[in-house]
Amino acid sequence: MGYVAIKGGEDAIENASRLTEYERVQSRSKVLEIEQIRTQLGALVDKIMGEGSLYAPEHAALALKQVQGCPLEGAFILRAYRATLNRSYYSQIVDTRNMRVTRRISSAFREMPGGQILGPTRDYSVRLLNTDLTTEDSEDIRSFLEEFDIPEDEFLEAQGSWSKVIDILIEQGMMQAVDDEEDQRVVDITREAIKFPAPRSAALQALARAETGGICSLAYSSMRGFGSAHPTIGELRVGYTRVTVKDRRGRMRCIGTIKVTEAEVISKVKQRKQDPVPYMTLGYGLCFGHNETKAICMGILDRSMRIDDEHPANSQEFVLYHTEGVESYGFTNHLKLPHYVTFQSGLDNLRKAMQRKEDKTQNGKEEKRKTYTVGTAEAEDVPELL
């Protein structure tokens, strides 16, 4: 058990890691460049930047290359990397009214100030497998771009920035501000463990890091029947926003521009006893990159978690603990670790319970036999009596 087994374990780990590397490259296909992943697999890069809670497209692309595109592993690697970085500043509040939008829609109004901008979306495409792509080459790309080239910067400049749909509702007094009673502290869930009931800042941070599929399923549950949410999308924006920090001398410094998706989801507020008006309120979602499903589901869950009801999506603890991708992924996979000690402890209990049952049945049988013997004895006695 001693040295040899240890050596065995270490060799096994080493070989396992070489085997996965072998699987990645064994086909001898062309080397996949980080730049290609970052741009051509942008949706995946955006997804894992959100779940990895690190805005770093190149690192995300690198992580994806390393793990052969597994989004859970990719997000996990980004998170682990993020944990090693120094935290120098907290950013200033970002006002997304100043966002330069590439896409902006509202389901609440037919027109809105600035207009609806469909932008890049697959929403109205027919999902047919595009077999043309099998023969795509750089010449195809070049001729497409020649015909359809909009420098993004110019496009964004032309768009400008716009006030929001909810501003109209707020002005008219139809949308209510957050209750004064609500916990409005801003906490950092990466620096202290989340405690329940969690302030909205913590809940939104957790949702922004949550696994997209996880929050999608819970948000869907609250719309489909386990909850009463069927909110209206006040506004969905995709675009670029500047991030600023205050340096040590108190000067504002722009540290870069990030792409985000923002969803503002309108629903009714719970009616108060004193007030006969069912005001509107907001469910809010914002995540890194272009990930509309995530932003919308965040908005729905932000709202549903603040409703006092008994459905899964109404419980902060249920939603936030179980949609945490890196944690749920890790724990479900830990079942692969050996558990023979705990299993042995259970076996001991089970064997004793079986023994107790056997003893009981044995005793029962003996008792029965006794009655039977008595019975026969009596029967034998009978003739004598006769």
Q: Which two tokens stand for residue 35?
A: 């730049």
At its nearest, how many Å lie between other proteins and the CB of residue 7?
A: 9
Comparison of 80 and 374: residue with beta carbon closer to other proteins: 80
Which stretches of 93-185 are assigned E, i.e. beta strand?
100-105
At its nearest, how many Å lie between other proteins and the CB of residue 179?
A: 19
Comparison of 119 and 312: residue with beta carbon closer to other proteins: 312
Which residues form the interface with other proteins (CB under 8 A)? 1-2, 5-6, 8-10, 12-13, 34-35, 58, 62, 76-77, 79-80, 82-84, 86, 190-197, 315, 317, 321, 326-327, 329-334, 337-342, 344-349, 352-353, 356
Question: Would you say 159 and 100 are in contact if contact means Cβ atoms under 8 Å apart?
Answer: yes
Comparison of 237 and 259: residue with beta carbon closer to other proteins: 259
d(CA 90, CA 255): 11
DSSP-derived letter for residue 29 is P
At its nearest, how many Å lie between other proteins and the CB of residue 381?
A: 39
Comparison of 48 and 112: residue with beta carbon closer to other proteins: 48
Comparison of 1 and 128: residue with beta carbon closer to other proteins: 1
At its nearest, how many Å lie between other proteins and the CB of residue 117?
A: 30
At its nearest, how many Å lie between other proteins and the CB of residue 4?
A: 9
Alpha-carbon distance values, 46 to 52, 94, 95 (Å): 10, 19, 21
Residue 266: closest CA among 151, 138, 175, 158? 175
Comparison of 15 and 271: residue with beta carbon closer to other proteins: 15
Beta bridge partners of 254: 244
At its nearest, how many Å lie between other proteins and the CB of residue 355?
A: 10
Residue 250: closest CA among 87, 89, 85? 89
d(CA 298, CA 316): 12
CA atoms within 13 A on the CB side of 33: 4
Give the position of tokens 């003739």: 383
